[in-house]
Structure formats: structure tokens, C-alpha cells
Amino acid sequence: MDTAVIPISNLQLAFTVLLVLIAGGISAFLRLGLLRALVWGTVRTFVQLTLVGYALVYIFKINNFWLVLAVITLMCYVAAKTAVKRTPNVPDYPTALAFLSLLASTYLAGSIVTGLIITPDPWYEARIVIPIFGMILGNTMNGIALSLDRLYSEVRSRAAEIEARLTFGATPWEAAHSTVREALRAGMTPTINSLMVVGLVSLPGMMTGQILGGADPRDAVRYQIVVMLMITAAVATGCLIMVGFSYRKLFDRDGALQPFVRQSRK
């Protein structure tokens, strides 16, 4: 296997406009009102990815430990900020806590992968570390958003039960632990489900990329296994930190439910 990446020239890339036209044609024909979003999304895809491409070339060339650290931390911050859009049930989304849980879970899983499994040289090799951490982050972001959202919606819909448990002398944990479990399950289920169907229903993007890049599919599969399992570990830790710290905020210092939980959503 010595087939390298077949490069895409500018002209060839320009042909992707055809693909946009297909989606645009459907939207225009059925008046879906998506045309503006489609055009804007296409432009952003081109601009963002082109910039990232150049930035990565630069970062890979410098390959400095502190720069890698800074880039990953920045990625965590952006992910923490973005996750808020996926939590319609959470009135005061805790960006700082999201950042903390993403940072901790990503570094935990990422360090195991780069330090123990892939072991690049140097161990902070940007070409390996940044994509690996990026993949972990994208999935963990969705996981924590899902679990936090579920925590709030469950607590709201079961406020009467939780409060009844409080009247039996339950601590906030005793009153809410089944809800906390439900929230963790919600955050982790998509990842665990993807472990079941991977390779059967879909070829994951990373593996596809490696194969297109000329890698032996058997090697690509090994990487994919590592990636799937590291994502699972990171999602589990991320959700645990997120929900573990968040559930207490649904109660006041005296251990009673916060008033907003019992009120209608604003």
C-alpha cells in the first residue's frame, strides 16, 4: 500500500459548487427557506477550514509543547461555549463548569491515548495530539450538553417527587440520585450505541480519512478502535463531572429545591 493522498486542485474544489447547487436547488424548489443559511454555511466551511488548514501547518511545524497546550485549551473553551446551544432546558448554563469537565475528561483520555497507546515522539507531537484531542472534545461536548439538558428537564418534570422525598428527610443526593443517573445515561447512550454499530452502519470519518489518505484499512481500524474507546471514556468522565457538580445547584443551601425548578420555563 503506497498510494498517497490524491490532491484536490483548486479547479476540482470549485466543482463542489455543484453539490451546493443540488442542496440549494431542493431548498429553492420546495421553498424551505434554507438558502441563506446554506450559502452562509458553505462560505463558512470554506473559510474556516482553509484557515484551520494553514494554522495546522504552522502549528505542526513549530511543534511546541506550550503551543499545543494552548491550542487544546482554546478548543475546550470554544466547545464549552458551543455546548450551551444544545441545552434548551438549562436557564443559567454553567460555561465555567462545562469548560472544567471538558478540560479534565479530554486531558484524561487524551493523555492515556498519546502517552500509552500511540506514543508519538515527542509525546506532545502536534500532528497526533491535536486531532486526537479534537475528536474527543467534539464528542464529549455533545455528551455533557445532552446529560445536563436531561438533568434539568428530568428534575423539572419530577419536581413533585423530588420534593416529596425531601419531606421524608432525604438529602439532595438521596432525592435526586435517580435523576442524576438518568442524566448520565442520556449523555453516554449515543456513544455506547455507536460502539455497537460502528463499521456496520457507518464507516467513521477518521477511518475513512485514513483510508483515503492511503493507509492500510487494517491499520486504520486499529486507530478507530482507540478513538472510539477514548471517546467513550472521555464522555463518561465529562458527563460525571458536569452532572455531579450541576445537580447540587438545583437545590439551595438548606437542601430545598430552587424555586425556578417548580416554575414554568421562561
Can you give the binding site for another protein, defined by CB under 8 A?
160-161, 163-171, 174-175, 252, 254-257, 259, 263
How many Å apart are CA 119 and CA 241, to the nearest integer? 27
The cell numbers describing 150, all together, are: 436531561
Query: Least distance in Å: CB of 76 to another protein?
Result: 36
Contact 91, 24 (CB under 8 A): no
Q: Do 162 and 175 meet the contact criterion of CB atoms below 8 Å apart?
A: yes
Q: Between residues 121 and 254, which has the closer beta carbon with respect to another protein?
A: 254
Is the Cβ of residue 44 or residue 265 nearer to another protein in the bound state? 265
User: Minimum distance from CB of 154 to another protein (Å)?
Assistant: 14
CB of 248 to another protein, least distance (A): 14
Name which of 134 and 255 has its Cβ closer to another protein. Answer: 255
CB of 77 to another protein, least distance (A): 34
8 Å CB contact between 103 and 238: no
Secondary structure (3-state) at 251: strand
d(CA 83, CA 85): 5
Q: Which is nearer to another protein, 23 or 170 (CB)?
A: 170
> Closest separation between CB of residue 69 and another protein, Å?
43
Sign of CA dihedral 200, 202, 207, 210: positive
What's the min distance (Å) between Cβ of 177 and another protein?
Answer: 10
Least distance (Å) between residue 256 CB and another protein: 5
Whether the Cβ atoms of residue 84 and residue 93 lie closer than 8 Å to each other:
yes
Cα-only R_g, the chain: 22
Q: How far is the CB of 170 from another protein (least distance, A)?
A: 4
* Torsion on CA atoms 68, 73, 78, 79, rounded to nearest 10: 100
Cβ distance to another protein smaller for residue 148 or 176: 176
Q: Which is nearer to another protein, 170 or 229 (CB)?
A: 170
Q: Measured from the CB atom, is 29 or 168 closer to another protein?
A: 168
Residues 6+ apart with CB under 8 A from 160: none
In SS3 terms, 21-82 reads as: HHHHHHHHHCCCCCHHHHHHHHHHHHHHHHHHHHHHHHHHHHCCHHHHHHHHHHHHHHHHHH
Residue 1's nearest CA partner among 165, 217, 152, 170 is 217
Cβ proximity to another protein: between 166 and 221 the closer is 166
